[in-house]
Amino acid sequence: MLALIPLLPLIGFLINGAWYAFGQAPAGRKQANAAITGTLASLAIGASFVVSLILFLQLRGMSPEAGDHRFIEQTLFNWMQIGAFQLPMTLRVDALSALFTLFITGVGTLIHIYAIGYMSHDETPGKFFAFLNLFCFAMLMLVLGASLPILFLGWEGVGLCSYLLIGYWYTDDEKASAGKKAFIVNRIGDFGFLLGMFLIYATFGTLELAQLTAAVHGGLPAGVAESTVTAICLLLFLGCVGKSAQFPLYVWLPDAMAGPTPVSALIHAATMVTSGIYLVARLNVLFSLSPQAMLVVATVGAFTALLAATIAIAQRDIKKVLAYSTVSQLGYMFLGCGVGAFSAGVFHVVTHAFFKALLFLGAGSVIHGMHEEQDIMKMGGLRKQMPRTFAVFAVAWLAICGIPPFSGFFSKDEILWQAYSSTHGHALLWGFGALTAVMTAFYMTRLFSLTFLGTPRFQEHGAHGHGDGHGHGTGAGAGVHESPAVMILPLAVLALLSAVGGFIGVPHASWLDEWLDPVIHSQHELAAGVSGSTEWLLMGVSVAGAAIGIFFALRLYADLARAEALRKRFAGLHQALVNKWYVDELYDHLFVRPIHALSQGLWKGFDVAVIDRIVLGIGYVTQWTGQTVRVVQTGSTQVYAFMFVVGLIATVGYLIYGLA
């Protein structure tokens, strides 16, 4: 049963992939029907969702009081055995992975359905949906794997799919390089992950997650230094920094927006990028043992949150804004984990999956309706043309800004409160978080206002042509139109979830905390000098901050001339923000060019001059040997028989000599 969850998307991948590889690819590029392949893929992941739901209910049925540990395990086969090391292919679902499985398959299904509409003009939907299914398979392996190598298998698998889907339109050079960038930057993180894994095996002698957790459950095991644990955590965190796009490895995520929008929503907002948080939450017991590592996690998270939020303010591409916003929100989640509030971090993963998927899909709907226009400066007033998209987008906007009672409020507030009050927390961390919250409200409102409010800033051709299901022309002739129902429906579901999803984690009555308790034992330990009433105060501050951000942005962007004047006044700062603090340029000068120069030098000075000569020399010697030995191979039977006899006599002689 458990195996079905990842297996179903894998089957979908195989069918769609085979259909593409055998059906479409050899026959040349003729357009295929997205509805068939898309429905198939959606059914695969949808069925997987149903299975996840059943398993979730099964898990709920187990009572921790009765001694059940609330997990289901299934070993499929023994993958490999090397000496004493065994690696069974074991899947394991417990409270944490059940939660992840649910929203991966749930949100995944919605995005698959949405993509049927979005990819309707695509030439190779079979390939697209095959990759999308393969991604789901890998992601599910990641969260269901019972040991680190299997988790790593999924980890690499999602990386591969991410690469394939970012560069999906690979004929465009820029998109292809975006894919490469994502892959290479992630390699740096994966390197850390691998080293961390090796160190874990060397230290604890196991890679099984349950055994590892059990080994460190009661504090530091004997013979293990705290510095070792810190090293392990930091190495693993390096992996998370890569995969979850944290400073300094976040640079790939904004470029990853080159992929189709459903991909951005599924992989680069809702699921894959949260796998870093999953890993940290999964190993929360280990991380808790090392205050230094926790501090690093929290600091990196807080800093990334703020940095990305500032950059988001000045971006003009609707998807870029959302991308930086994702980086920023991921920073929030790590901030939560870093201050010991792992369940708050996971909570934000869930709510973020809802509203960020909704934001991306809404943006996709806008892009689709505007015929591939992504510049928000060329939009405006879309609430009239796209009323449904406008409505759902508004929900997501309020959710991410943290306005109660939308979902984002609860999770964000929980993280902020913990950042202030927990024993690992600090007022400074809270300050970073709160400032980010204000900025988030500001840039999201800016995006919202420039896109949907005000007056249109685009040339409206055939404005009467809008509405559902009208002919999809290409470009200039057709007007802006609302997206078809197959795209709007998933949006509506996500809007509902974004609106009410927060109630699973109401402070002090949190269902989520209780549910995650077997995996993440949350100790609501307050630091000295923090009282309960502070919580209400901080909550008020964060809501007020968000309100101020929204209000200010609404006022500013209602009158674009004023915004322009403000931009002129801070031209230098604005330029820095538009250019993302020149981080890409910095990396280019610091790493890319020196490495390139070094590689050039090694290539010409060492490889060609030294290695090649050695290799070719050995090659010549071997060739010569071969030619020489071949001389004996004359084809004459007599020679063969002679050699046979010589061999016989020589060996027998040697043996008799040994006996004598």
Partner 1 sequence: MDASTTIRADLLTLTSEQAMMLSPYLWVFGGTVLAMILSVTRAIQPRLPVFIVSVLTALVGMVVSLGLFAADRVMLFNNMMVGDSYANFFNVVFLASAALTMLASFEYLDQERLQYGEYYLLVLFAALGMMLMASALDLIVIFIALELMSLSVYVLVGFRRADRRSNEAAMKYFILGAAASAILLYGTALLYGATQSTNIRDIQAFVQSQSGGVSIMFTLGAWLVIVGFLFKIASVPFHMWMPDVYEGAPTPITGFMTTGLKAAAFATFVRIFISTGYGDGLPAAIQSHMHDIIVVCAVLTMVIGNAVALTQTNLKRMLAYSSIAHTGYILVGMIAGQGSEQGYAPVVLYLVAYAVMNMGAFAVLAILAARADQGLNLRDFSGLSSRQPWLAFAMSVFLLSMAGIPPTAGFAAKYLLFYSAVQAHEIGLVVISVLCSAISVYYYLRVLVHMYMHEPEEGAAPLRPVSVWAAAVVASMVVLTVQIGTLPAGMLAAAKRAVMSL
In the complex, the residues that contact partner 1 under the rule CB under 8 A are 26, 77-81, 619, 622-623, 625-627, 629-630, 632-633, 635, 637, 639-641, 643-644, 646-648, 650-652, 654-659
Nearest to 114 by CA among 331, 294, 365: 365
Work out how close the CB of 645 gets to partner 1 at its nearest, in angstroms, rounded to a whole number. 9
**Residue nearer to partner 1 on the CB measure, 76 or 598:** 76
Report how far residue 123's alpha carbon sits from residue 107's, in angstroms, rounded to the nearest whole number: 25
Q: What are phi and psi of 364, to 5 degrees?
A: -60, -40
Cα 369 from chain centroid?
27
Nearer residue to partner 1 within complex by CB, 610 or 655: 655
Considering beta carbons, is residue 573 or 646 the nearer one to partner 1? Answer: 646
Which of 467/647 has CB closer to partner 1?
647
Instruction: Give Cα separations from 171 to 9, 23, 121, 179 (angstroms).
Output: 27, 21, 16, 12
Q: Which is nearer to partner 1, 602 or 655 (CB)?
A: 655
User: Are 108 and 272 spatial neighbours (Cβ–Cβ below 8 Å)?
Assistant: no
User: Which CB sits closer to partner 1, 566 or 639?
Assistant: 639
CB of 86 to partner 1, least distance (A): 9
Q: Give burial (CB, 10 Å; 0-12/13-18/19+) of 448.
A: buried
Shortest Å, Cβ 26 to partner 1: 8
Q: For residue 284, give the nearest of 350, 199, 345 by alpha carbon.
A: 345
Structure tokens at 527: 């630091």
Distance of alpha carbon 175 from the chain centroid:
18
The DSSP code sequence of 439-458 is: HHHHHHHHHHHHHHSS---S
- Kindly state the smallest distance separating residue 649's Cβ from partner 1, in Å: 11
Tokens matching residue 410: 């609860």
Instruction: Report the candidate in 133, 148, 129 with the shortest Cα–Cα distance to residue 190.
Output: 148
Tell how strand 85-94 and strand 71-82 pair up: antiparallel
Based on the number of CB atoms within 10 Å of its own CB, is 547 exposed (0-12), middle (13-18) or buried (19 or more)?
middle
* Least distance (Å) between residue 78 CB and partner 1: 5
Between 57 and 80, CB nearer to partner 1: 80
Q: How far is the CB of 23 from partner 1 (least distance, A)?
A: 14
Write down the least CB distance from residue 570 to partner 1, Å: 55
Cβ closest to partner 1, residue 153 vs residue 554: 153
* Closest distance of CB 272 from partner 1, Å: 24
